[in-house]
Amino acid sequence: MSDTSFVRQEMLSEQPAPASSVGFLGWIKNNLFSTWFNSILTVIALGFVWYILAGVLPWTFLSVWNAGSLSECREIARQVWGESHGHACWAVINDRWIQLLFGFYPSHLYWRPILAFVLLGFALAPVLFPQSSRKLLILSGLYPFILPWLMWGGSIWSPIMALIGFVMGYLAIKNLSERIGQLGAIFSSIFAAFLWWLLIGPVFVDLLSANIPIALESVASRDFGGFVLALLIGIVAIVCSLPIGIILALGRQSDLIIVKAFSVAFIEFIRGVPLITLLFVASLLLNLFLPPGTEFDIILRVMIMVTLFSSAYMAEVIRGGLAALPKGQYEGADSLGLDYWQAQRLIIMPQALKVSIPGIVSTFIGLFKDTTLVSIIGLMDPLGLSQGIRANAEWNGIYWELFAFIALLFFVVCFSMSRYSMYLERKLQTDHR
Protein backbone atom coordinates (compact mmCIF):
# COMPACT_ATOMS: atom_id res chain seq x y z
CA MET A 1 0.00 0.00 0.00
CA SER A 2 1.36 3.46 -0.87
CA ASP A 3 1.87 6.15 1.78
CA THR A 4 -0.45 8.73 0.28
CA SER A 5 -3.54 6.58 0.04
CA PHE A 6 -5.66 6.43 3.16
CA VAL A 7 -9.29 5.58 3.78
CA ARG A 8 -10.84 5.92 7.23
CA GLN A 9 -12.89 2.84 8.18
CA GLU A 10 -14.71 4.22 11.22
CA MET A 11 -15.19 7.72 12.66
CA LEU A 12 -13.77 8.42 16.15
CA SER A 13 -16.23 9.22 18.92
CA GLU A 14 -15.90 12.22 21.22
CA GLN A 15 -13.93 11.68 24.48
CA PRO A 16 -13.92 13.59 27.77
CA ALA A 17 -11.03 16.01 28.45
CA PRO A 18 -8.41 14.92 31.04
CA ALA A 19 -9.37 15.76 34.64
CA SER A 20 -6.36 18.03 35.23
CA SER A 21 -7.50 20.50 32.55
CA VAL A 22 -11.15 21.02 33.61
CA GLY A 23 -12.98 21.92 36.81
CA PHE A 24 -11.91 24.13 39.70
CA LEU A 25 -8.53 22.52 40.33
CA GLY A 26 -7.76 22.58 36.63
CA TRP A 27 -8.63 26.28 36.51
CA ILE A 28 -6.38 27.09 39.49
CA LYS A 29 -3.52 25.14 38.05
CA ASN A 30 -3.85 26.74 34.61
CA ASN A 31 -4.41 30.30 35.70
CA LEU A 32 -2.56 30.77 38.99
CA PHE A 33 0.28 28.23 39.21
CA SER A 34 1.06 27.37 35.62
CA THR A 35 4.77 28.26 35.93
CA TRP A 36 7.05 29.02 38.89
CA PHE A 37 7.02 32.71 37.93
CA ASN A 38 3.21 32.82 37.90
CA SER A 39 3.18 31.06 41.26
CA ILE A 40 5.35 33.80 42.77
CA LEU A 41 3.11 36.50 41.25
CA THR A 42 0.05 34.75 42.69
CA VAL A 43 1.54 34.70 46.18
CA ILE A 44 2.55 38.37 45.99
CA ALA A 45 -0.89 39.37 44.72
CA LEU A 46 -2.61 37.44 47.50
CA GLY A 47 -0.42 39.20 50.06
CA PHE A 48 -1.36 42.56 48.58
CA VAL A 49 -5.07 41.77 48.67
CA TRP A 50 -4.73 40.64 52.28
CA TYR A 51 -2.96 43.89 53.21
CA ILE A 52 -5.72 46.07 51.67
CA LEU A 53 -8.58 44.08 53.19
CA ALA A 54 -6.91 44.03 56.60
CA GLY A 55 -7.05 47.82 56.57
CA VAL A 56 -10.44 48.43 54.95
CA LEU A 57 -12.65 45.75 56.50
CA PRO A 58 -12.08 46.63 60.21
CA TRP A 59 -12.44 50.35 59.39
CA THR A 60 -15.76 49.70 57.65
CA PHE A 61 -17.32 47.19 60.00
CA LEU A 62 -15.81 47.98 63.42
CA SER A 63 -17.44 51.37 63.30
CA VAL A 64 -19.60 53.77 65.31
CA TRP A 65 -23.18 54.19 64.17
CA ASN A 66 -24.68 56.33 66.93
CA ALA A 67 -23.03 59.52 68.04
CA GLY A 68 -23.77 63.25 68.02
CA SER A 69 -20.39 64.49 66.84
CA LEU A 70 -17.00 63.40 65.58
CA SER A 71 -15.37 63.74 69.00
CA GLU A 72 -18.12 61.61 70.54
CA CYS A 73 -17.45 59.05 67.82
CA ARG A 74 -13.78 58.91 68.73
CA GLU A 75 -14.61 58.63 72.43
CA ILE A 76 -16.89 55.64 71.80
CA ALA A 77 -14.33 54.00 69.56
CA ARG A 78 -11.66 54.43 72.23
CA GLN A 79 -13.90 52.88 74.89
CA VAL A 80 -14.87 49.90 72.75
CA TRP A 81 -11.69 49.12 70.81
CA GLY A 82 -9.15 51.02 72.83
CA GLU A 83 -7.64 52.83 69.87
CA SER A 84 -9.56 55.71 68.27
CA HIS A 85 -7.91 55.50 64.85
CA GLY A 86 -8.92 53.01 62.20
CA HIS A 87 -12.64 53.02 62.89
CA ALA A 88 -15.24 54.64 60.64
CA CYS A 89 -17.69 57.09 62.13
CA TRP A 90 -20.86 56.25 60.22
CA ALA A 91 -22.81 58.27 62.76
CA VAL A 92 -22.49 61.27 60.45
CA ILE A 93 -24.36 59.38 57.73
CA ASN A 94 -26.90 58.19 60.28
CA ASP A 95 -27.35 61.81 61.32
CA ARG A 96 -27.37 63.52 57.92
CA TRP A 97 -28.37 60.99 55.23
CA ILE A 98 -31.73 62.63 54.64
CA GLN A 99 -30.01 65.93 54.00
CA LEU A 100 -27.51 64.29 51.65
CA LEU A 101 -30.44 62.89 49.69
CA PHE A 102 -32.84 65.84 49.65
CA GLY A 103 -30.74 68.93 50.38
CA PHE A 104 -32.87 71.69 51.87
CA TYR A 105 -36.08 70.57 50.20
CA PRO A 106 -38.90 71.18 52.71
CA SER A 107 -39.21 68.01 54.76
CA HIS A 108 -43.03 67.86 54.65
CA LEU A 109 -42.79 67.78 50.82
CA TYR A 110 -40.32 64.87 50.56
CA TRP A 111 -43.14 62.80 49.06
CA ARG A 112 -42.98 64.88 45.89
CA PRO A 113 -39.43 64.02 44.72
CA ILE A 114 -40.03 60.44 45.84
CA LEU A 115 -43.25 60.25 43.82
CA ALA A 116 -41.49 61.90 40.88
CA PHE A 117 -38.78 59.23 40.83
CA VAL A 118 -41.25 56.38 41.28
CA LEU A 119 -43.25 57.72 38.33
CA LEU A 120 -39.98 58.04 36.42
CA GLY A 121 -39.52 54.30 36.79
CA PHE A 122 -42.92 53.68 35.20
CA ALA A 123 -42.32 56.30 32.49
CA LEU A 124 -38.98 54.77 31.53
CA ALA A 125 -40.21 51.16 31.63
CA PRO A 126 -41.76 51.09 28.13
CA VAL A 127 -38.67 52.78 26.70
CA LEU A 128 -36.13 50.52 28.42
CA PHE A 129 -38.00 47.21 28.40
CA PRO A 130 -40.09 46.50 25.28
CA GLN A 131 -42.03 43.73 27.03
CA SER A 132 -43.71 46.18 29.44
CA SER A 133 -47.20 47.52 28.80
CA ARG A 134 -47.57 49.91 25.86
CA LYS A 135 -50.15 51.94 27.78
CA LEU A 136 -47.34 53.29 29.97
CA LEU A 137 -46.14 55.25 26.92
CA ILE A 138 -48.88 57.79 27.72
CA LEU A 139 -47.17 58.36 31.06
CA SER A 140 -43.80 58.61 29.28
CA GLY A 141 -45.24 61.35 27.08
CA LEU A 142 -46.76 63.27 29.98
CA TYR A 143 -43.81 62.82 32.34
CA PRO A 144 -41.76 65.82 31.11
CA PHE A 145 -44.69 67.99 32.27
CA ILE A 146 -45.35 66.10 35.52
CA LEU A 147 -41.70 66.21 36.68
CA PRO A 148 -41.25 70.00 36.93
CA TRP A 149 -44.70 70.41 38.46
CA LEU A 150 -43.94 67.88 41.20
CA MET A 151 -40.46 69.23 41.85
CA TRP A 152 -41.06 72.97 41.76
CA GLY A 153 -44.79 73.02 42.51
CA GLY A 154 -46.96 75.96 41.51
CA SER A 155 -50.15 76.06 39.49
CA ILE A 156 -51.08 72.94 37.53
CA TRP A 157 -52.12 75.15 34.62
CA SER A 158 -48.55 76.09 33.67
CA PRO A 159 -47.45 72.56 32.70
CA ILE A 160 -50.81 71.98 31.02
CA MET A 161 -50.39 75.13 28.93
CA ALA A 162 -46.84 74.04 28.02
CA LEU A 163 -48.28 70.69 26.92
CA ILE A 164 -50.96 72.41 24.83
CA GLY A 165 -48.20 74.39 23.07
CA PHE A 166 -46.71 71.11 21.85
CA VAL A 167 -50.16 69.90 20.79
CA MET A 168 -50.61 73.13 18.78
CA GLY A 169 -47.27 72.61 17.08
CA TYR A 170 -48.19 69.00 16.28
CA LEU A 171 -51.59 69.98 14.85
CA ALA A 172 -49.97 72.66 12.71
CA ILE A 173 -47.47 70.19 11.27
CA LYS A 174 -50.14 67.55 10.68
CA ASN A 175 -52.63 69.80 8.89
CA LEU A 176 -50.27 72.03 6.97
CA SER A 177 -47.63 69.64 5.61
CA GLU A 178 -50.02 68.52 2.84
CA ARG A 179 -50.75 72.09 1.83
CA ILE A 180 -47.53 74.09 2.17
CA GLY A 181 -44.83 71.41 2.14
CA GLN A 182 -42.80 69.88 4.96
CA LEU A 183 -40.39 72.74 5.59
CA GLY A 184 -43.12 75.36 5.71
CA ALA A 185 -45.14 73.18 8.07
CA ILE A 186 -42.19 72.79 10.46
CA PHE A 187 -41.67 76.55 10.61
CA SER A 188 -45.33 77.32 11.09
CA SER A 189 -45.62 74.67 13.82
CA ILE A 190 -42.69 76.23 15.69
CA PHE A 191 -44.31 79.61 15.20
CA ALA A 192 -47.67 78.34 16.48
CA ALA A 193 -46.09 76.76 19.55
CA PHE A 194 -44.13 79.87 20.50
CA LEU A 195 -47.11 82.11 19.83
CA TRP A 196 -49.03 80.00 22.31
CA TRP A 197 -46.27 79.78 24.96
CA LEU A 198 -45.32 83.45 24.92
CA LEU A 199 -48.57 85.30 24.24
CA ILE A 200 -51.79 83.33 24.54
CA GLY A 201 -50.80 80.66 27.07
CA PRO A 202 -49.79 82.99 29.93
CA VAL A 203 -53.16 84.77 29.72
CA PHE A 204 -54.97 81.45 30.09
CA VAL A 205 -52.68 80.41 32.95
CA ASP A 206 -53.48 83.62 34.88
CA LEU A 207 -57.18 83.32 34.15
CA LEU A 208 -57.44 79.65 35.12
CA SER A 209 -55.21 79.95 38.19
CA ALA A 210 -57.37 82.79 39.48
CA ASN A 211 -60.62 80.92 38.97
CA ILE A 212 -59.72 77.26 39.40
CA PRO A 213 -56.71 77.33 41.71
CA ILE A 214 -55.20 73.85 41.63
CA ALA A 215 -51.64 74.25 42.81
CA LEU A 216 -48.83 72.58 44.72
CA GLU A 217 -46.80 74.51 47.27
CA SER A 218 -43.91 76.18 45.42
CA VAL A 219 -40.34 75.18 46.18
CA ALA A 220 -37.56 77.59 45.24
CA SER A 221 -34.55 76.37 43.26
CA ARG A 222 -32.14 77.36 46.05
CA ASP A 223 -33.79 74.74 48.31
CA PHE A 224 -32.99 71.95 45.86
CA GLY A 225 -29.99 69.87 46.73
CA GLY A 226 -28.44 66.56 47.54
CA PHE A 227 -28.72 63.43 45.48
CA VAL A 228 -32.16 64.53 44.26
CA LEU A 229 -30.52 67.49 42.51
CA ALA A 230 -27.82 65.30 40.97
CA LEU A 231 -30.47 62.86 39.72
CA LEU A 232 -32.67 65.66 38.41
CA ILE A 233 -29.90 67.32 36.39
CA GLY A 234 -28.49 63.98 35.30
CA ILE A 235 -31.79 62.53 34.09
CA VAL A 236 -32.90 65.64 32.20
CA ALA A 237 -29.49 65.95 30.53
CA ILE A 238 -29.38 62.24 29.65
CA VAL A 239 -32.87 62.21 28.15
CA CYS A 240 -32.31 65.42 26.15
CA SER A 241 -28.74 64.85 25.02
CA LEU A 242 -29.44 61.62 23.10
CA PRO A 243 -31.87 63.11 20.54
CA ILE A 244 -29.80 66.30 20.21
CA GLY A 245 -26.70 64.17 19.74
CA ILE A 246 -28.42 62.15 17.00
CA ILE A 247 -29.45 65.32 15.16
CA LEU A 248 -25.92 66.73 15.46
CA ALA A 249 -24.34 63.50 14.22
CA LEU A 250 -26.66 63.48 11.21
CA GLY A 251 -26.02 67.18 10.67
CA ARG A 252 -22.31 66.58 10.61
CA GLN A 253 -22.78 64.04 7.79
CA SER A 254 -25.28 66.17 5.91
CA ASP A 255 -24.77 67.42 2.36
CA LEU A 256 -26.37 70.74 3.30
CA ILE A 257 -23.41 73.02 3.85
CA ILE A 258 -24.98 75.30 6.49
CA VAL A 259 -26.34 72.41 8.56
CA LYS A 260 -22.97 70.70 8.39
CA ALA A 261 -20.98 73.81 9.27
CA PHE A 262 -23.24 74.55 12.24
CA SER A 263 -22.99 70.98 13.56
CA VAL A 264 -19.21 70.84 13.23
CA ALA A 265 -18.75 74.26 14.83
CA PHE A 266 -21.07 73.41 17.72
CA ILE A 267 -19.49 70.03 18.42
CA GLU A 268 -15.92 71.25 18.21
CA PHE A 269 -16.58 74.36 20.29
CA ILE A 270 -18.43 72.58 23.08
CA ARG A 271 -15.92 69.74 23.20
CA GLY A 272 -13.05 72.18 23.28
CA VAL A 273 -14.30 73.96 26.40
CA PRO A 274 -14.27 72.56 29.96
CA LEU A 275 -17.69 71.92 31.48
CA ILE A 276 -16.77 74.17 34.41
CA THR A 277 -16.46 77.10 32.01
CA LEU A 278 -19.91 76.44 30.64
CA LEU A 279 -21.29 76.22 34.17
CA PHE A 280 -19.75 79.57 35.07
CA VAL A 281 -21.29 81.02 31.92
CA ALA A 282 -24.61 79.63 33.07
CA SER A 283 -24.32 81.00 36.60
CA LEU A 284 -22.65 84.38 36.01
CA LEU A 285 -22.33 85.53 32.42
CA LEU A 286 -25.82 84.68 31.24
CA ASN A 287 -27.32 87.23 33.61
CA LEU A 288 -25.35 89.97 31.86
CA PHE A 289 -26.87 89.16 28.49
CA LEU A 290 -30.45 88.67 29.59
CA PRO A 291 -32.64 91.74 30.09
CA PRO A 292 -32.61 92.96 33.72
CA GLY A 293 -35.22 91.38 35.91
CA THR A 294 -35.51 88.22 33.80
CA GLU A 295 -36.16 85.21 35.96
CA PHE A 296 -34.20 82.40 34.40
CA ASP A 297 -33.93 79.58 36.83
CA ILE A 298 -30.35 78.63 37.78
CA ILE A 299 -31.08 74.89 37.76
CA LEU A 300 -32.67 75.19 34.33
CA ARG A 301 -29.61 77.07 33.08
CA VAL A 302 -27.30 74.38 34.43
CA MET A 303 -29.46 71.65 32.87
CA ILE A 304 -29.22 73.32 29.47
CA MET A 305 -25.44 73.67 29.72
CA VAL A 306 -24.89 70.08 30.86
CA THR A 307 -27.23 68.87 28.09
CA LEU A 308 -25.38 70.82 25.39
CA PHE A 309 -22.06 69.60 26.74
CA SER A 310 -22.97 65.93 26.68
CA SER A 311 -24.85 66.14 23.39
CA ALA A 312 -21.63 67.20 21.65
CA TYR A 313 -19.92 64.06 22.98
CA MET A 314 -22.99 62.01 22.14
CA ALA A 315 -22.88 63.24 18.54
CA GLU A 316 -19.33 62.00 18.13
CA VAL A 317 -20.11 58.63 19.70
CA ILE A 318 -23.07 58.18 17.34
CA ARG A 319 -20.98 59.31 14.37
CA GLY A 320 -18.67 56.44 15.22
CA GLY A 321 -21.65 54.09 15.06
CA LEU A 322 -22.73 55.54 11.71
CA ALA A 323 -19.23 55.09 10.33
CA ALA A 324 -19.34 51.41 11.30
CA LEU A 325 -22.31 50.72 9.02
CA PRO A 326 -21.50 49.36 5.57
CA LYS A 327 -22.50 51.60 2.65
CA GLY A 328 -24.71 48.77 1.44
CA GLN A 329 -27.21 49.45 4.22
CA TYR A 330 -27.84 52.95 2.87
CA GLU A 331 -28.08 51.58 -0.67
CA GLY A 332 -30.41 48.78 0.39
CA ALA A 333 -32.72 51.31 2.04
CA ASP A 334 -32.48 53.69 -0.94
CA SER A 335 -33.16 50.97 -3.50
CA LEU A 336 -36.45 50.13 -1.76
CA GLY A 337 -37.67 53.71 -2.11
CA LEU A 338 -37.45 54.69 1.57
CA ASP A 339 -36.96 58.44 1.98
CA TYR A 340 -34.12 59.94 4.06
CA TRP A 341 -35.92 60.06 7.41
CA GLN A 342 -37.51 56.62 6.98
CA ALA A 343 -34.11 55.14 6.13
CA GLN A 344 -32.54 56.84 9.16
CA ARG A 345 -35.30 55.81 11.55
CA LEU A 346 -35.88 52.24 10.38
CA ILE A 347 -32.53 51.08 9.04
CA ILE A 348 -29.57 53.29 9.92
CA MET A 349 -30.21 54.52 13.48
CA PRO A 350 -31.32 51.19 15.00
CA GLN A 351 -28.02 49.70 13.86
CA ALA A 352 -25.79 52.71 14.50
CA LEU A 353 -27.19 53.17 18.01
CA LYS A 354 -26.78 49.48 18.76
CA VAL A 355 -23.12 49.64 17.78
CA SER A 356 -22.64 52.77 19.90
CA ILE A 357 -24.36 51.48 23.07
CA PRO A 358 -21.12 51.12 25.06
CA GLY A 359 -20.01 54.62 24.07
CA ILE A 360 -23.42 56.14 24.70
CA VAL A 361 -23.68 54.62 28.16
CA SER A 362 -20.12 55.71 28.98
CA THR A 363 -21.11 59.25 28.06
CA PHE A 364 -24.23 58.98 30.23
CA ILE A 365 -22.18 57.74 33.18
CA GLY A 366 -19.58 60.48 32.71
CA LEU A 367 -22.33 63.06 32.45
CA PHE A 368 -24.03 61.84 35.62
CA LYS A 369 -20.79 62.03 37.60
CA ASP A 370 -20.07 65.48 36.16
CA THR A 371 -23.20 66.79 37.85
CA THR A 372 -21.06 67.01 41.03
CA LEU A 373 -19.30 69.96 39.37
CA VAL A 374 -22.33 72.15 40.02
CA SER A 375 -21.13 72.44 43.64
CA ILE A 376 -18.49 74.82 42.29
CA ILE A 377 -21.10 77.36 41.22
CA GLY A 378 -22.85 77.07 44.57
CA LEU A 379 -25.55 74.48 43.95
CA MET A 380 -25.95 72.06 46.86
CA ASP A 381 -25.25 68.72 45.22
CA PRO A 382 -24.05 65.93 47.57
CA LEU A 383 -20.43 67.15 47.43
CA GLY A 384 -21.49 70.72 48.13
CA LEU A 385 -23.55 69.47 51.08
CA SER A 386 -20.63 67.47 52.45
CA GLN A 387 -18.70 70.72 52.72
CA GLY A 388 -21.65 72.27 54.48
CA ILE A 389 -21.80 69.37 56.92
CA ARG A 390 -18.08 69.69 57.69
CA ALA A 391 -18.61 73.37 58.36
CA ASN A 392 -20.58 72.38 61.48
CA ALA A 393 -18.62 72.23 64.74
CA GLU A 394 -19.84 68.65 65.44
CA TRP A 395 -18.65 67.14 62.20
CA ASN A 396 -15.60 69.28 61.50
CA GLY A 397 -12.82 67.12 60.06
CA ILE A 398 -14.85 64.21 58.77
CA TYR A 399 -14.05 63.28 55.15
CA TRP A 400 -13.88 59.59 54.32
CA GLU A 401 -17.26 58.56 55.60
CA LEU A 402 -19.13 61.27 53.66
CA PHE A 403 -17.21 60.63 50.48
CA ALA A 404 -17.70 56.88 50.82
CA PHE A 405 -21.45 57.33 51.17
CA ILE A 406 -21.67 59.70 48.19
CA ALA A 407 -19.48 57.38 46.14
CA LEU A 408 -21.82 54.51 47.00
CA LEU A 409 -24.87 56.47 45.83
CA PHE A 410 -23.23 57.32 42.52
CA PHE A 411 -21.86 53.81 42.11
CA VAL A 412 -25.30 52.24 42.45
CA VAL A 413 -26.74 54.44 39.69
CA CYS A 414 -23.75 54.19 37.34
CA PHE A 415 -23.38 50.44 37.81
CA SER A 416 -27.09 49.95 37.07
CA MET A 417 -26.68 51.89 33.83
CA SER A 418 -23.70 49.76 32.91
CA ARG A 419 -25.55 46.50 33.62
CA TYR A 420 -28.57 47.70 31.67
CA SER A 421 -26.40 48.47 28.66
CA MET A 422 -24.97 44.96 28.75
CA TYR A 423 -28.48 43.51 28.93
CA LEU A 424 -29.49 45.67 26.00
CA GLU A 425 -26.49 44.61 23.92
CA ARG A 426 -27.27 40.94 24.52
CA LYS A 427 -30.92 41.45 23.68
CA LEU A 428 -30.24 43.30 20.43
CA GLN A 429 -27.62 40.87 19.23
CA THR A 430 -28.97 39.31 16.05
CA ASP A 431 -25.84 38.41 14.13
CA HIS A 432 -25.14 35.20 16.09
CA ARG A 433 -21.42 35.30 15.76
Partner 1 sequence: MSDIATEPAATRSKMQVSGETAIQITKMNKWYGAFHVLRDVDLTVFNGERIVICGPSGSGKSTLIRCINALEEHQRGEIVVDGTVLSSDLKNIDKIRSEVGMVFQHFNLFPHLTILENCTLAPIWVRKTPKKEAEETAMHFLEKVKIPEQANKYPGQLSGGQQQRVAIARSLCMKPRIMLFDEPTSALDPEMIKEVLDTMIELAEDGMTMLVVTHEMGFARQVANRVIFMDQGQIVEQNEPEAFFNNPQSDRTKLFLSQILGH
Residues at the site binding partner 1, with contacts judged by CB under 8 A: 326, 328-329, 331-340, 342, 346-347, 350-351, 354, 428, 430-433
Q: Which is nearer to partner 1, 238 or 347 (CB)?
A: 347
Quick one: 244 or 428, whose CB is closer to partner 1?
A: 428
Q: Rank residues 10 and 339 by Cβ distance to partner 1 and give the closer one.
A: 339
CB nearer partner 1, residue 134 or residue 433: 433
From the CB of 250, what's the least distance to partner 1, in Å? 16
The letter for the amino acid at 19 is A
Least distance CB 333 / partner 1 (angstroms): 8
Closest distance to partner 1 from the beta carbon of 124 (Å): 22
- Pick between residue 31 and residue 182 the one whose CB is nearest to partner 1: 182
Q: How far is the CB of 335 from partner 1 (least distance, A)?
A: 4
Closest CB to partner 1 among residues 253, 342: 342
- Which residue's CB is nearer to partner 1, number 2 or number 335? 335
